Amino acid sequence: MIDLYDIVILMALAGIGAFFWQLRRISELAQFHAQRACQQRRLQLLNVARSKAKLGRIPGGGIGWVCEYQCEFSTDGMNQLTARIEMLGQRLKGIHMPLYPEPEWQQAPTARGRIGMGGCGGGASSCGPKSNCSSGSCR
């Protein structure tokens, strides 16, 4: 037979489960915000991990989770920088990124040659993978 003690235990377990379900949802939102911020800045997202989580006051919403996440990103695939994401409940409070150099792939040179316009000294042939150009004038 179910008594009051069993009901209290079940409600406590359901409440704990609901808190962790909310925490998981907030983590997914932080991941989304990190991906969007990296896409807008043309950065490579490496990792997102929760560093702090506590119950606190949420503006206009009572009590909820106040979370902080560490986000690692790269500008060129070689370096690794850390940003901080702050969440108030399911709302983004802010993303704090360090100063970083512009991604190197944005600094790639642009092509200046013309295709099929006669390379290799102005002849009728074009410079390509099948041409035998030893004059050094292919650009």
pLDDT tens figures, 108-136: 455 565 665 554 554 454 555 555 555 55
- CB count in 10 Å sphere of residue 69: 24
67 band by pLDDT with thresholds 50, 70 and 90:
very high
Distance of CA 109 to the CA centre of its chain: 26
The answer to whether the beta carbons of residues 76 and 108 sit under 8 Å apart is: no
Number of domains present in the structure of the chain: 1
Range of the domain at 55: 4-98
pTM of the model: 0.66
Question: Is 92 within a domain?
Answer: yes
- CB count in 10 Å sphere of residue 38: 19
Model pLDDT, residue 11:
94
Question: Is 123 within a domain?
Answer: no
Question: Is 132 within a domain?
Answer: no
Question: Is 30 within a domain?
Answer: yes
CATH of the domain at 55: 3.10.450
* Alpha helices (runs of H) in the chain, residue ranges in sequence order: 4-40
**3-class SS shares of the chain: helix, strand, coil, % to 5:** 30, 30, 40
